[in-house]
A and B are shown apart, each in its own frame.
Chain A
Amino acid sequence: MGMRVTLEQSNAAAEDAVKRVDAKFGGAEVVSSVEHHANAHKMAFVRIVSPAQHLQALAKHLRFEVGVNYCSMVTGTHFPEGGADRGWEVVYHLMRQPVKDQAPHTNTIHVAEGLKGDDVPLEFEVVVTLPQTDDPVVPSVQSVWVGADWNEKETWDLVGIRFEGHENMHRVLNPHDSPEGFHPLQKQHKIRYHDFNEMYDDAQGFGRKPTDEGRVK
Chain B
Amino acid sequence: MAQMWITMGPQHPMTHGLWTLRVKVDGETVVDTEAELGYIHRGVEKIAEARDFTQITPYCDRLCYVSAMTWSNSYIYAAEDLLEVEVPERAEYIRLIAAECQRLASHLMWLGAYGPDIGSLTLMTWCMRDREMFLDLLQELGGSRMHYNYPRIGGVKRDLPVGFADRLVAKIRLFEKRIDEYEMLLDESTIWLVRLQGVGYAKAEDMVNAGVSGPNIRAAGVNYDVRWAHPYSVYDQVDWEPAVEKPTSVKGADCYDRYRVRMEEMRQSCRMMLDAIEKIPGGKNTNYANGDAMILAKAPTRAPEGATGFSHYECTRGASQFYIQGGGDGRGKNPYRLSIRSPMFITIPYVAKTMIGYKVADIPAIMGSFDPCIGETDR
Chain A residues packing against B (C-beta within 8 Å): 1-5, 37-41, 43, 45, 69-73, 75, 77, 91, 93, 95, 97-110, 112, 121, 123, 125, 145-151, 154, 158, 171-175, 184-185, 189, 191-193
Contacts and interface: CB of A to CB of B under 8 A. Distances in A.
Interface of B: 37-38, 41, 43, 45-47, 49-51, 77, 80-87, 203-213, 217, 220-224, 227-233, 235-241, 244-250, 252, 272, 309-312, 319, 321, 323, 325, 336-337, 339, 341, 345-346, 349-350, 378-379
Contact of A39 (B87, B217, B224): B87
B301 to A, nearest CB: 16
A105 B248 contact: yes
A2 B236 contact: yes
B70 to A, nearest CB: 15
A35 B41 CA distance: 34
A193 B37 CA distance: 28
Given A107-B223, A174-B41, A72 B46 contact: no
Contacts of B229: 5, 97, 112, 121
A121 to B, nearest CB: 4
Contacts of A2: 227-228, 235-241, 272
Contacts of A102: 204, 220-222, 246-247
Contacts of B379: 173
Given A39-B85, A184-B46, A107 B323 contact: no
B223 A108 contact: yes
B221 A106 contact: yes
Given A2-B237, A73-B321, A109-B244, A101 B209 contact: no
30 contacts: A1-B239, A3-B236, A4-B236, A5-B231, A37-B310, A39-B77, A39-B84, A39-B232, A40-B77, A40-B232, A41-B232, A70-B209, A72-B346, A73-B321, A75-B323, A75-B337, A91-B339, A95-B230, A98-B222, A99-B207, A102-B220, A102-B222, A104-B249, A145-B209, A147-B212, A147-B346, A150-B346, A158-B45, A185-B46, A191-B50
A100 B204 contact: yes
